[in-house]
Amino acid sequence: MSKLAVDRKYWEPHIELMRRRELEELQLKRLRFILRYVYERSPFYRRKFNELYVKPDDLKKLEDIRKFPFTTKEDLRNYSYPYGGDFLCVPREELICWHMTSGTTGRPTIGPYTFKDYETWMNIMARCLVTVGVRKGDILLNLYGYGLFTGGLGFHQSSHLVGASVIPWGVGRTEALINLMRDFQPTVMTGTPSYQLYILEQMQKQGIEPRKELKLRITIPGAEMWTEETRRRIEDGYGLKEKDGGARNVYGATEMLGPGAGIECEYEQGFHFWTDHIFLEVIDPETLSPVEPGEQGEMVITTMTKEAMPLIRYRTRDITVLDTSGCECGREAFPRCRWIIGRVDDVIHYKGAKIWPSMIHETLLRFPEVLEYQIIVDKSPAGGRFTVRVELDKKRDSTAKREQIIAELRKALIFVTPHVEFVPEGTLPRYEGKARRIIIKEG
């Protein structure tokens, strides 16, 4: 009998309910193992460790991980292509699949799997699904892309483990998708938050009332920056709370096996990070020293259970705030990460100021009248301009509202006075996959 999640609250209670001390012992054991493993097998890490004169045995306690070198995205670009390159710890013949990033900015980042990696990943993903509340009998509409992107397959295959039925839709053909949603009545939906909101908007245009006409209970938005305001819109729009569900954040990346490194429980207070598989540090991206829980910093991960291509102290470029105060769901040893505030690379540099797009996002979405927005940063030497284009619901548009939005944006941005442009309803682009709301003109 397989362990179908009929009434499970936990997928692996012996792990998820561990005390912090127990978890730390497990981490120490796994870190020691993986440091030795990469040192013996990966030419990249052998070289790196030797350069710093560190040996796997130098790790006596968890903090000793700081003696070991960081791995950067640049390293992956330079040394992991094509099959896994100098990072690979197994013969190529042991690999069963690769995923990779789109590679729009250069060589793609490679995520190779052995059979064991695949099993590990599916198990972590099953844990994620049970944590958000997916059970046997659920119909999961999977709106993450299939193909080289890890999202589609990650959710697809793990659904079988918990006994849910999956509809492998992928991305696009929204009109047909809406028909299918009414006919099949999925109870769980994945996909980018932008796409979940776009579907909602299309339904409302067609006079469909998702709250009444759909059985959707849980959505699992991810793969792009989103905020508490986005959550509120998705939960209200689909009526998720009324059905005892919600919109729950998932985190992951090709470098960490795929989605599933962390996920939110029913308390929706940030995603639990599965630190039995991935060791997590949060550092100041400039000084590289650790920051305290509650402070903003860059996530640095060490994969402890990957076989084909483990990563040691990989700098994700993702900025978060860690909460180690425990959680009512019982997974108290697993820290929670508050929203990913953005990628280090997402920060907009404009006239000496640093601007997080997530701040603009959060400010604007607080206004229910705002349907969509776009940020245009013109850095031309002739003067330049920081423009925020805002699309308002025409039924709720007013001069007072516009003034209020401008004032709030100015308050949020402090060092930059944005030029705010209001555009008619329906003019700004919508997104069926990842949103691209920022346009930078380099001048």
Nearer to Zn ion, 235 or 391 (CB): 235
Pick the closer one to Zn ion by CB: 253 or 265: 265
Taking contact as CB under 5 A, which single stretch among the options 72-80, 143-151, 283-291, 324-332 is the one that binds Zn ion? 324-332
Q: Please, which of residues 393-432 interact with Zn ion by CB under 5 A? A: none
Q: Which is nearer to Zn ion, 335 or 342 (CB)?
A: 335
Tell me how many residues contact Zn ion (CB under 5 A). 4
- Would you say 9 or 379 has its CB closer to Zn ion? 9
Stretch that binds Zn ion, among 35-43, 50-58, 164-172, 327-335 (CB under 5 A): 327-335
Q: Which of residues 246-285 bind Zn ion (CB under 5 A)?
A: 265
Which x/- pattern, by CB under 5 A, does the window 106-145 give for Zn ion? ----------------------------------------
Min CB(323)–Zn ion separation in Å: 10
> 123 Cβ partners below 8 Å, 6+ apart?
11, 12, 158, 161
From 329, 337, 340, 375, residue interacting with Zn ion (rule: CB under 5 A):
329
Residue in the structure block whose two tokens are 């997402």: 346
What is the β-pairing status of strands 419-423 and 385-392?
parallel
Closest to 182 in 3D by CA, of 219, 137, 212, 217? 212
What length does the chain have?
443
- Provide, rounded to whole angstroms, the least separation between the CB of residue 22 and Zn ion: 17
Q: From 85-93, 281-289, 330-338, 391-399, give the range in contact with Zn ion by CB under 5 A.
A: 330-338
Distance of closest approach, residue 247 Cβ to Zn ion, in angstroms: 15
Cα–Cα dist 57/388, whole Å: 53
Q: In this chain, which stretch among 114-122, 180-188, 205-213, 319-327 interacts with Zn ion, using CB under 5 A?
A: 319-327
- Give min distance, CB of 267 to Zn ion, in A: 5
The least distance separating Zn ion from the CB of residue 17, rounded to whole angstroms, comes to 11
If the CB atoms of residues 48 and 272 are measured against Zn ion, the closer one turns out to be 272
| Whole-number Cα distances in Å, 248 to 150, 186, 197, 361 | 18, 16, 14, 18
Residue 165, strand partner residues: 139
Q: What is the DSSP letter of 18?
A: -
Nearer to Zn ion, 327 or 364 (CB): 327
Is 18 a binding residue for Zn ion by CB under 5 A? The answer is: no
Six-digit token pair at 157? Answer: 């295959």
| Start-end of H helices in 42-149 | 43-51, 73-79, 115-132
Residue 299 CB, nearest approach to Zn ion (Å): 18
Smallest gap from residue 126 Cβ to Zn ion (A): 17
CB of 131 to Zn ion, least distance (A): 8
> Nearer to Zn ion by C-beta: 17 or 54?
17
Among the residue ranges 278-286, 325-333, 346-354, 387-395, the one whose residues contact Zn ion (CB under 5 A)? 325-333
**For residues 331-360, which are near Zn ion according to CB under 5 A?**
331
Rounded Cα–Cα distance for residues 295 and 115 (Å): 38
Is 265 or 308 the residue whose CB approaches Zn ion more closely?
265
213 or 244: CB nearest Zn ion: 244
Report the nearest approach of Zn ion to the CB of residue 47 (Å): 40
Give burial (CB, 10 Å; 0-12/13-18/19+) of 351.
Answer: exposed
Rg (CA), the chain: 22
Nearer to Zn ion, 240 or 360 (CB): 240
Q: How far is the CB of 19 from Zn ion (least distance, A)?
A: 15
Can you list the alpha helix ranges (DSSP code H) found in 171-221? Answer: 174-184, 193-205, 210-213
- Beta strand spans in 294-428 (E): 296-303, 314-323, 336-337, 342-343, 348-350, 353-355, 370-378, 385-392, 419-423
Q: In one letter, which amino acid is 19?
A: R
Q: Tell which residue, 372, 340, 364, has the closest CA to residue 263.
A: 340
| Single residue of 327, 355, 388, 420 touching Zn ion by CB under 5 A | 327
3-class DSSP state of 288: coil
- Apex 263 CA angle, 348 and 81, nearest 5: 60
- The tokens for 269 are 């207070």
Residues in contact with Zn ion by the rule CB under 5 A: 265, 327, 329, 331
